[in-house]
Structure 1
Amino acid sequence: MEKRAIRTPFFVVNPKAYLYGEKALELARCADRLAEQYDLDVFFTGQLVDLPALKRETKHLIITAQHMDGLRPGAGMGHVLPEALVEAGVQATFLNHAEHAMPFAKLAQAMARADELGILTIVCADTVEEARALAMLHPDIMVCEPTSLIGTGKVSGGDYMAATNEAVKSVSPHTLVLQAAGISTGEDVIRAIRSGADGTGGTSGIVAKPDPCAALEEMLTALHQIKEEGK
Protein backbone atom coordinates (compact mmCIF):
# COMPACT_ATOMS: atom_id res chain seq x y z
CA MET A 1 0.00 0.00 0.00
CA GLU A 2 1.32 3.45 -0.90
CA LYS A 3 1.75 6.02 1.80
CA ARG A 4 -0.58 8.97 1.86
CA ALA A 5 0.91 12.17 0.42
CA ILE A 6 1.01 14.98 2.98
CA ARG A 7 0.15 18.58 2.15
CA THR A 8 1.97 21.32 3.98
CA PRO A 9 1.62 23.02 6.34
CA PHE A 10 0.10 20.21 8.38
CA PHE A 11 -0.91 19.82 12.03
CA VAL A 12 -0.74 17.02 14.61
CA VAL A 13 -3.23 16.72 17.46
CA ASN A 14 -1.55 14.43 20.00
CA PRO A 15 -3.68 13.82 23.12
CA LYS A 16 -1.14 11.24 24.43
CA ALA A 17 -2.79 9.63 27.50
CA TYR A 18 -4.63 12.78 28.60
CA LEU A 19 -7.77 11.86 26.66
CA TYR A 20 -9.34 8.50 25.87
CA GLY A 21 -12.70 7.06 24.99
CA GLU A 22 -15.52 9.55 24.49
CA LYS A 23 -13.39 12.60 25.37
CA ALA A 24 -10.88 11.66 22.67
CA LEU A 25 -13.70 11.12 20.18
CA GLU A 26 -15.19 14.50 21.05
CA LEU A 27 -11.93 16.28 20.24
CA ALA A 28 -11.46 14.16 17.11
CA ARG A 29 -14.86 15.18 15.80
CA CYS A 30 -13.91 18.82 16.35
CA ALA A 31 -10.58 18.30 14.57
CA ASP A 32 -12.34 16.51 11.72
CA ARG A 33 -14.72 19.44 11.21
CA LEU A 34 -11.88 21.95 11.25
CA ALA A 35 -9.72 19.89 8.90
CA GLU A 36 -12.56 19.94 6.38
CA GLN A 37 -13.37 23.61 6.95
CA TYR A 38 -9.80 24.80 6.44
CA ASP A 39 -8.77 22.06 3.97
CA LEU A 40 -5.74 21.04 6.05
CA ASP A 41 -4.02 17.71 6.63
CA VAL A 42 -4.50 16.96 10.33
CA PHE A 43 -3.00 13.95 12.11
CA PHE A 44 -4.81 12.72 15.24
CA THR A 45 -3.24 10.24 17.64
CA GLY A 46 -5.09 8.01 20.05
CA GLN A 47 -4.87 5.17 22.51
CA LEU A 48 -4.61 1.82 20.73
CA VAL A 49 -8.06 0.72 21.85
CA ASP A 50 -9.57 3.97 20.52
CA LEU A 51 -8.03 3.91 17.04
CA PRO A 52 -10.82 1.93 15.29
CA ALA A 53 -13.48 4.25 16.73
CA LEU A 54 -11.48 7.35 15.78
CA LYS A 55 -11.28 6.05 12.22
CA ARG A 56 -14.96 5.15 12.12
CA GLU A 57 -16.14 8.47 13.56
CA THR A 58 -14.08 10.81 11.33
CA LYS A 59 -13.63 11.35 7.61
CA HIS A 60 -10.80 13.85 7.15
CA LEU A 61 -8.20 13.01 9.84
CA ILE A 62 -5.03 10.99 9.43
CA ILE A 63 -5.47 8.49 12.26
CA THR A 64 -2.12 7.94 13.93
CA ALA A 65 -0.76 5.41 16.42
CA GLN A 66 1.37 6.70 19.27
CA HIS A 67 3.82 3.79 18.87
CA MET A 68 4.45 0.73 16.74
CA ASP A 69 6.86 -2.18 16.94
CA GLY A 70 8.77 -3.80 14.11
CA LEU A 71 7.54 -7.37 14.58
CA ARG A 72 5.67 -9.58 12.14
CA PRO A 73 2.54 -11.67 12.83
CA GLY A 74 3.36 -14.45 15.28
CA ALA A 75 5.01 -14.32 18.68
CA GLY A 76 5.18 -10.90 20.27
CA MET A 77 3.05 -10.68 23.38
CA GLY A 78 2.34 -7.07 24.38
CA HIS A 79 3.84 -5.47 21.27
CA VAL A 80 2.04 -3.32 18.70
CA LEU A 81 1.68 -5.24 15.45
CA PRO A 82 1.89 -3.10 12.27
CA GLU A 83 -0.65 -5.22 10.39
CA ALA A 84 -3.18 -4.70 13.18
CA LEU A 85 -2.79 -0.94 12.85
CA VAL A 86 -3.40 -1.10 9.11
CA GLU A 87 -6.48 -3.25 9.71
CA ALA A 88 -7.78 -0.55 12.07
CA GLY A 89 -7.36 2.14 9.41
CA VAL A 90 -4.21 3.72 10.84
CA GLN A 91 -2.13 5.63 8.29
CA ALA A 92 0.74 6.93 10.43
CA THR A 93 2.66 6.20 13.62
CA PHE A 94 4.85 8.10 16.04
CA LEU A 95 8.18 6.46 16.83
CA ASN A 96 10.89 7.26 19.41
CA HIS A 97 8.96 9.90 21.34
CA ALA A 98 10.80 10.99 24.49
CA GLU A 99 8.07 9.28 26.51
CA HIS A 100 8.54 6.04 24.54
CA ALA A 101 12.15 6.08 23.35
CA MET A 102 13.46 3.26 21.16
CA PRO A 103 16.95 1.82 20.69
CA PHE A 104 18.30 2.67 17.24
CA ALA A 105 18.05 -0.91 15.95
CA LYS A 106 14.43 -1.25 17.09
CA LEU A 107 13.56 2.12 15.56
CA ALA A 108 15.12 1.15 12.23
CA GLN A 109 13.23 -2.17 12.27
CA ALA A 110 9.90 -0.48 12.97
CA MET A 111 10.50 2.08 10.22
CA ALA A 112 11.28 -0.67 7.73
CA ARG A 113 8.02 -2.46 8.58
CA ALA A 114 6.10 0.81 8.28
CA ASP A 115 7.58 1.33 4.82
CA GLU A 116 6.48 -2.18 3.82
CA LEU A 117 2.89 -1.51 4.85
CA GLY A 118 2.50 2.09 3.73
CA ILE A 119 2.42 3.59 7.23
CA LEU A 120 3.80 7.13 7.53
CA THR A 121 6.63 7.41 10.07
CA ILE A 122 6.75 10.35 12.48
CA VAL A 123 10.12 10.07 14.22
CA CYS A 124 11.04 12.22 17.23
CA ALA A 125 14.42 13.80 17.96
CA ASP A 126 15.66 15.92 20.85
CA THR A 127 18.91 17.64 19.90
CA VAL A 128 20.24 18.97 16.61
CA GLU A 129 22.74 16.10 16.56
CA GLU A 130 20.05 13.48 17.11
CA ALA A 131 17.87 15.04 14.42
CA ARG A 132 20.74 14.85 11.94
CA ALA A 133 21.53 11.24 12.86
CA LEU A 134 17.94 9.99 12.70
CA ALA A 135 17.37 11.81 9.41
CA MET A 136 19.75 9.25 7.89
CA LEU A 137 16.89 6.75 8.26
CA HIS A 138 14.74 9.00 6.02
CA PRO A 139 11.55 9.20 8.08
CA ASP A 140 8.50 10.73 6.44
CA ILE A 141 8.27 13.33 9.21
CA MET A 142 10.79 14.34 11.86
CA VAL A 143 9.52 15.88 15.09
CA CYS A 144 12.12 18.24 16.53
CA GLU A 145 11.46 19.23 20.13
CA PRO A 146 13.79 19.54 23.13
CA THR A 147 12.76 16.94 25.69
CA SER A 148 13.14 19.56 28.42
CA LEU A 149 10.32 21.65 26.91
CA ILE A 150 7.72 18.90 26.38
CA GLY A 151 4.57 19.74 28.31
CA THR A 152 5.97 22.99 29.71
CA GLY A 153 4.16 25.43 27.45
CA LYS A 154 7.53 26.93 26.50
CA VAL A 155 8.17 27.13 22.76
CA SER A 156 11.49 26.11 21.20
CA GLY A 157 13.76 29.03 20.46
CA GLY A 158 14.18 30.32 16.92
CA ASP A 159 17.81 29.21 16.78
CA TYR A 160 16.85 25.63 17.72
CA MET A 161 14.07 25.54 15.12
CA ALA A 162 16.30 26.87 12.36
CA ALA A 163 19.19 24.54 13.26
CA THR A 164 17.08 21.38 13.43
CA ASN A 165 15.21 22.26 10.24
CA GLU A 166 18.54 22.63 8.44
CA ALA A 167 20.04 19.51 10.02
CA VAL A 168 17.18 17.29 8.84
CA LYS A 169 16.89 18.77 5.34
CA SER A 170 20.64 18.59 4.76
CA VAL A 171 20.56 14.82 5.26
CA SER A 172 17.06 13.93 4.03
CA PRO A 173 15.58 16.69 1.85
CA HIS A 174 12.25 14.92 1.39
CA THR A 175 11.64 14.44 5.14
CA LEU A 176 9.05 16.90 6.46
CA VAL A 177 9.95 18.71 9.68
CA LEU A 178 7.52 19.27 12.55
CA GLN A 179 8.30 21.83 15.26
CA ALA A 180 5.99 21.19 18.18
CA ALA A 181 7.45 21.94 21.63
CA GLY A 182 5.19 24.15 23.73
CA ILE A 183 2.73 25.09 20.98
CA SER A 184 -0.29 26.58 22.73
CA THR A 185 -1.51 29.58 20.69
CA GLY A 186 -2.11 30.63 17.11
CA GLU A 187 0.96 32.87 17.35
CA ASP A 188 3.07 29.84 18.31
CA VAL A 189 1.80 28.04 15.21
CA ILE A 190 2.74 30.93 12.95
CA ARG A 191 6.19 31.22 14.55
CA ALA A 192 6.88 27.51 14.05
CA ILE A 193 5.91 27.52 10.38
CA ARG A 194 7.81 30.73 9.67
CA SER A 195 10.92 29.08 11.12
CA GLY A 196 10.88 26.88 8.03
CA ALA A 197 9.00 23.92 9.48
CA ASP A 198 6.53 21.97 7.35
CA GLY A 199 4.11 21.40 10.19
CA THR A 200 3.40 21.82 13.88
CA GLY A 201 1.09 20.41 16.53
CA GLY A 202 0.15 20.30 20.16
CA THR A 203 -0.78 18.30 23.23
CA SER A 204 -1.12 20.15 26.53
CA GLY A 205 -1.59 23.43 24.67
CA ILE A 206 -4.87 21.91 23.47
CA VAL A 207 -6.08 19.33 26.00
CA ALA A 208 -5.22 21.37 29.11
CA LYS A 209 -7.28 24.36 27.97
CA PRO A 210 -10.80 24.87 29.38
CA ASP A 211 -12.17 24.41 25.85
CA PRO A 212 -9.84 22.13 23.84
CA CYS A 213 -11.90 22.53 20.66
CA ALA A 214 -11.65 26.31 20.82
CA ALA A 215 -7.90 26.10 21.44
CA LEU A 216 -7.51 23.81 18.44
CA GLU A 217 -9.63 26.10 16.29
CA GLU A 218 -7.38 29.05 17.15
CA MET A 219 -4.32 27.06 16.07
CA LEU A 220 -5.84 25.73 12.84
CA THR A 221 -7.17 29.16 11.95
CA ALA A 222 -3.60 30.47 12.24
CA LEU A 223 -2.27 27.56 10.18
CA HIS A 224 -4.85 28.24 7.48
CA GLN A 225 -3.89 31.91 7.53
CA ILE A 226 -0.22 31.22 6.95
CA LYS A 227 -1.08 28.64 4.28
CA GLU A 228 -3.12 31.25 2.40
CA GLU A 229 -0.30 33.79 2.72
CA GLY A 230 2.08 31.31 1.08
CA LYS A 231 -0.07 30.74 -2.00
Structure 2
Amino acid sequence: MLFVNFKTYEEGSGPRALALVHALEEVSTQTQIKIIPVVAVLDAETIATASKLEIWVQHVDPVEYGAHTGWTLPSELARIGIHGVFLNHSEHKFEDFEALTNAAKICQSQNLKTLIFAADIKELKLILKLKPDFVAYEPPELVGSTTKSVASEKPEIISTAAEIAKTARIPLIVGAGIHTSKDIKRSLELGAVGFAVATNIVKAKDPKSATMALLEGF
Protein backbone atom coordinates (compact mmCIF):
# COMPACT_ATOMS: atom_id res chain seq x y z
CA MET A 1 0.00 0.00 0.00
CA LEU A 2 1.33 3.38 -1.03
CA PHE A 3 -0.07 6.77 0.01
CA VAL A 4 1.09 9.54 -2.34
CA ASN A 5 0.79 12.94 -0.67
CA PHE A 6 0.41 15.69 -3.28
CA LYS A 7 0.97 18.37 -0.61
CA THR A 8 0.65 21.84 -2.16
CA TYR A 9 3.29 21.21 -4.78
CA GLU A 10 2.57 22.92 -8.08
CA GLU A 11 3.12 19.55 -9.77
CA GLY A 12 0.29 18.10 -7.69
CA SER A 13 -2.24 20.90 -8.03
CA GLY A 14 -5.12 21.62 -10.42
CA PRO A 15 -4.95 19.94 -13.86
CA ARG A 16 -1.52 18.55 -13.03
CA ALA A 17 -2.99 16.77 -10.01
CA LEU A 18 -5.49 14.99 -12.23
CA ALA A 19 -2.77 13.97 -14.67
CA LEU A 20 -0.71 12.61 -11.79
CA VAL A 21 -3.66 10.60 -10.49
CA HIS A 22 -4.14 9.03 -13.92
CA ALA A 23 -0.45 8.05 -13.96
CA LEU A 24 -0.84 6.46 -10.53
CA GLU A 25 -3.92 4.58 -11.76
CA GLU A 26 -1.85 3.03 -14.53
CA VAL A 27 0.87 1.97 -12.09
CA SER A 28 -1.64 0.49 -9.66
CA THR A 29 -3.28 -1.50 -12.45
CA GLN A 30 0.06 -2.81 -13.72
CA THR A 31 1.50 -3.72 -10.33
CA GLN A 32 -1.72 -4.65 -8.49
CA ILE A 33 -0.42 -2.62 -5.54
CA LYS A 34 -2.90 -0.29 -3.88
CA ILE A 35 -2.03 3.37 -4.41
CA ILE A 36 -3.95 6.12 -2.60
CA PRO A 37 -3.56 9.69 -3.87
CA VAL A 38 -3.83 12.19 -1.01
CA VAL A 39 -4.88 15.44 -2.63
CA ALA A 40 -5.57 19.05 -1.69
CA VAL A 41 -9.13 19.88 -0.69
CA LEU A 42 -9.52 22.24 -3.65
CA ASP A 43 -8.92 19.36 -6.08
CA ALA A 44 -10.71 16.66 -4.12
CA GLU A 45 -14.15 16.62 -5.76
CA THR A 46 -12.81 16.81 -9.31
CA ILE A 47 -10.38 13.98 -8.71
CA ALA A 48 -12.81 11.79 -6.75
CA THR A 49 -15.27 12.05 -9.64
CA ALA A 50 -12.68 11.30 -12.33
CA SER A 51 -10.63 8.53 -10.70
CA LYS A 52 -11.26 4.90 -9.85
CA LEU A 53 -8.66 5.04 -7.10
CA GLU A 54 -9.49 5.60 -3.44
CA ILE A 55 -8.98 9.34 -2.94
CA TRP A 56 -7.97 10.87 0.39
CA VAL A 57 -7.30 14.45 1.51
CA GLN A 58 -4.47 15.88 3.56
CA HIS A 59 -6.28 17.39 6.54
CA VAL A 60 -9.69 18.11 8.04
CA ASP A 61 -10.78 20.25 10.95
CA PRO A 62 -12.64 19.11 14.08
CA VAL A 63 -15.90 20.85 13.13
CA GLU A 64 -19.38 20.05 11.89
CA TYR A 65 -21.82 22.29 10.01
CA GLY A 66 -22.01 25.77 11.51
CA ALA A 67 -20.19 29.08 11.82
CA HIS A 68 -16.64 27.93 11.12
CA THR A 69 -15.21 30.28 8.51
CA GLY A 70 -12.40 28.80 6.43
CA TRP A 71 -12.44 25.37 8.07
CA THR A 72 -12.68 22.01 6.28
CA LEU A 73 -15.73 19.89 7.04
CA PRO A 74 -15.33 16.10 7.23
CA SER A 75 -19.03 15.71 6.40
CA GLU A 76 -18.63 17.55 3.09
CA LEU A 77 -15.65 15.44 2.14
CA ALA A 78 -17.69 12.32 2.76
CA ARG A 79 -20.51 13.75 0.64
CA ILE A 80 -18.29 14.28 -2.41
CA GLY A 81 -16.87 10.76 -2.28
CA ILE A 82 -13.61 11.12 -0.38
CA HIS A 83 -12.61 7.87 1.34
CA GLY A 84 -10.17 9.01 4.01
CA VAL A 85 -8.01 11.71 5.54
CA PHE A 86 -4.56 12.34 6.92
CA LEU A 87 -4.58 13.71 10.46
CA ASN A 88 -1.73 15.27 12.44
CA HIS A 89 0.87 15.32 9.68
CA SER A 90 4.04 17.08 10.82
CA GLU A 91 3.30 19.92 8.40
CA HIS A 92 -0.22 20.41 9.78
CA LYS A 93 -0.40 19.20 13.35
CA PHE A 94 -3.37 19.81 15.60
CA GLU A 95 -2.94 22.36 18.37
CA ASP A 96 -3.57 19.73 21.04
CA PHE A 97 -4.63 16.12 21.53
CA GLU A 98 -8.24 17.12 22.25
CA ALA A 99 -8.58 18.72 18.82
CA LEU A 100 -7.07 15.65 17.18
CA THR A 101 -9.43 13.41 19.13
CA ASN A 102 -12.45 15.43 18.04
CA ALA A 103 -11.37 15.37 14.40
CA ALA A 104 -10.87 11.61 14.50
CA LYS A 105 -14.30 11.05 16.08
CA ILE A 106 -16.06 13.20 13.49
CA CYS A 107 -14.29 11.39 10.66
CA GLN A 108 -15.29 8.05 12.08
CA SER A 109 -18.92 9.21 12.35
CA GLN A 110 -18.80 10.09 8.64
CA ASN A 111 -17.22 6.75 7.68
CA LEU A 112 -14.02 8.48 6.62
CA LYS A 113 -10.93 6.35 7.10
CA THR A 114 -8.10 7.95 9.05
CA LEU A 115 -4.34 7.76 8.98
CA ILE A 116 -2.92 9.58 12.00
CA PHE A 117 0.74 10.58 12.09
CA ALA A 118 3.08 10.24 15.06
CA ALA A 119 6.46 11.90 15.35
CA ASP A 120 7.78 9.50 18.00
CA ILE A 121 6.89 6.41 20.01
CA LYS A 122 5.30 8.39 22.84
CA GLU A 123 2.90 10.09 20.44
CA LEU A 124 2.28 6.80 18.64
CA LYS A 125 1.02 5.17 21.83
CA LEU A 126 -1.39 8.06 22.43
CA ILE A 127 -2.70 7.98 18.87
CA LEU A 128 -3.39 4.26 18.97
CA LYS A 129 -6.00 4.96 21.66
CA LEU A 130 -8.03 6.78 19.00
CA LYS A 131 -8.28 3.56 16.97
CA PRO A 132 -7.48 5.00 13.54
CA ASP A 133 -7.56 2.80 10.45
CA PHE A 134 -3.82 3.33 10.05
CA VAL A 135 -1.08 4.90 12.14
CA ALA A 136 2.06 6.42 10.67
CA TYR A 137 5.49 6.87 12.16
CA GLU A 138 7.21 9.80 10.49
CA PRO A 139 10.09 11.64 12.22
CA PRO A 140 9.64 15.29 11.13
CA GLU A 141 13.32 15.99 10.63
CA LEU A 142 13.38 13.52 7.72
CA VAL A 143 10.18 14.68 6.00
CA GLY A 144 10.94 15.80 2.46
CA SER A 145 14.49 14.44 2.45
CA THR A 146 15.74 13.02 -0.83
CA THR A 147 18.98 11.64 0.59
CA LYS A 148 18.05 10.11 3.95
CA SER A 149 15.03 8.08 5.03
CA VAL A 150 13.46 6.75 8.18
CA ALA A 151 14.46 3.27 6.96
CA SER A 152 18.14 4.16 6.74
CA GLU A 153 18.36 6.43 9.77
CA LYS A 154 15.95 4.93 12.33
CA PRO A 155 15.28 1.26 11.50
CA GLU A 156 15.17 0.25 15.15
CA ILE A 157 12.29 2.66 15.81
CA ILE A 158 10.34 1.29 12.84
CA SER A 159 10.68 -2.16 14.41
CA THR A 160 9.50 -0.90 17.81
CA ALA A 161 6.62 1.04 16.27
CA ALA A 162 5.55 -2.01 14.26
CA GLU A 163 5.39 -4.17 17.39
CA ILE A 164 3.34 -1.58 19.26
CA ALA A 165 0.95 -1.10 16.34
CA LYS A 166 0.62 -4.85 15.83
CA THR A 167 -0.40 -5.28 19.47
CA ALA A 168 -3.14 -2.70 18.89
CA ARG A 169 -4.08 -4.44 15.61
CA ILE A 170 -3.60 -1.26 13.61
CA PRO A 171 -1.45 -1.31 10.44
CA LEU A 172 1.75 0.74 10.54
CA ILE A 173 2.58 3.12 7.70
CA VAL A 174 6.02 4.70 7.56
CA GLY A 175 7.13 7.88 5.85
CA ALA A 176 9.78 10.59 5.91
CA GLY A 177 12.36 10.38 3.16
CA ILE A 178 11.22 7.06 1.69
CA HIS A 179 12.64 7.32 -1.83
CA THR A 180 14.12 3.99 -2.93
CA SER A 181 12.96 0.41 -3.33
CA LYS A 182 15.55 -0.51 -0.67
CA ASP A 183 13.73 1.76 1.79
CA ILE A 184 10.49 -0.06 1.00
CA LYS A 185 12.01 -3.53 1.30
CA ARG A 186 13.81 -2.77 4.56
CA SER A 187 10.72 -1.21 6.17
CA LEU A 188 8.56 -4.18 5.21
CA GLU A 189 11.13 -6.48 6.82
CA LEU A 190 10.87 -4.37 9.98
CA GLY A 191 7.07 -4.69 10.14
CA ALA A 192 5.61 -1.80 8.17
CA VAL A 193 2.68 -2.60 5.89
CA GLY A 194 2.59 0.56 3.78
CA PHE A 195 4.24 3.87 3.02
CA ALA A 196 3.54 7.58 2.79
CA VAL A 197 5.58 9.32 0.12
CA ALA A 198 5.48 12.68 -1.62
CA THR A 199 8.48 14.52 -3.05
CA ASN A 200 10.13 11.59 -4.83
CA ILE A 201 7.00 10.96 -6.90
CA VAL A 202 5.09 14.23 -7.13
CA LYS A 203 8.11 16.30 -8.17
CA ALA A 204 9.68 13.62 -10.37
CA LYS A 205 10.24 14.38 -14.06
CA ASP A 206 8.48 11.08 -14.80
CA PRO A 207 6.17 10.24 -11.86
CA LYS A 208 5.02 6.96 -13.39
CA SER A 209 8.57 5.64 -13.76
CA ALA A 210 9.51 6.90 -10.30
CA THR A 211 6.55 5.08 -8.78
CA MET A 212 7.29 1.88 -10.64
CA ALA A 213 10.89 1.97 -9.44
CA LEU A 214 9.83 2.56 -5.84
CA LEU A 215 7.32 -0.30 -5.89
CA GLU A 216 10.03 -2.78 -6.85
CA GLY A 217 10.65 -2.96 -3.10
CA PHE A 218 7.35 -4.76 -2.48
- Render the CA deviation track for 1:29-67: whole Å, top value 9, x for unaligned: 0111222222222211111110111112211x2100100
Matched, 1:79 2:71: yes
Map 1:145-160 onto structure 2 (within 5 A): 145-153=138-146, 154-156=148-150, 157-160=154-157
* Partners of 1:177 and 1:215 in 2: CA distance: 23
Matched, 1:131 2:124: yes
Out of 189, 195, 208, the residue aligned to residue 190 of structure 2 is: 195
Calculate percent identity across the aligned residue pairs: 28
* Partners of 2:21 and 2:81 in 1: CA distance: 15
Contact 2:27–2:208 (CA under 8 A) maintained in structure 1: no
Contact 1:124–1:143 (CA under 8 A) maintained in structure 2: yes
Out of 146, 163, 166, the residue aligned to residue 166 of structure 1 is: 163
* Partners of 1:53 and 1:32 in 2: CA distance: 15
Out of 48, 56, 68, the residue aligned to residue 55 of structure 1 is: 48
Count of residue correspondences: 211
Residue 26 of structure 2 is matched in structure 1 by: 33
Residue 2 of structure 2 is matched in structure 1 by: 11
* Partners of 2:132 and 2:111 in 1: CA distance: 12
Counterpart residue identity of residue 168, structure 1: A
Alpha-carbon shift at residue 197 of structure 1 (Å): 0.6
Counterpart residue identity of residue 83, structure 1: S
Alpha-carbon shift at residue 196 of structure 1 (Å): 0.6
Long gaps (5+) in structure 1: 1-9, 224-231
Alpha-carbon shift at residue 207 of structure 1 (Å): 2.1
Alpha-carbon shift at residue 201 of structure 1 (Å): 2.8
Q: Report the 3-state secondary structure (helix = DSSP H, G, I; strand = E; otherwise coil) of the residue aligned with 1:124.
A: strand
| Cα-Cα RMSD | 1.3
* Partners of 2:55 and 2:35 in 1: CA distance: 9
Contact 2:23–2:207 (CA under 8 A) maintained in structure 1: no
Alpha-carbon shift at residue 209 of structure 1 (Å): 2.4
* Partners of 1:33 and 1:86 in 2: CA distance: 25
Matched, 1:212 2:204: no
Residue 106 of structure 2 is matched in structure 1 by: 113
TM-score with structure 2 length normalisation? Answer: 0.92
Alpha-carbon shift at residue 78 of structure 1 (Å): 0.8
- Please list every run of at least 4 consecutive aligned residues from structure 1 whose deviation after the TM superposition is greater than 6 angstroms: none
- Render the CA deviation track for 1:141-170: whole Å, top value 9, x for unaligned: 111011110011211121021011123333
Contact 1:185–1:215 (CA under 8 A) maintained in structure 2: no
* Partners of 1:218 and 1:88 in 2: CA distance: 32
* Partners of 2:24 and 2:187 in 1: CA distance: 20
Q: Report the 3-state secondary structure (helix = DSSP H, G, I; strand = E; otherwise coil) of the residue aligned with 1:137.
A: coil
Out of 50, 58, 65, the residue aligned to residue 66 of structure 1 is: 58
TM-score with structure 1 length normalisation? Answer: 0.87
Q: Report the 3-state secondary structure (helix = DSSP H, G, I; strand = E; otherwise coil) of the residue aligned with 2:59.
A: coil
- Render the CA deviation track for 1:170-206: whole Å, top value 9, x for unaligned: 3x22x11101121112222212222111111311121
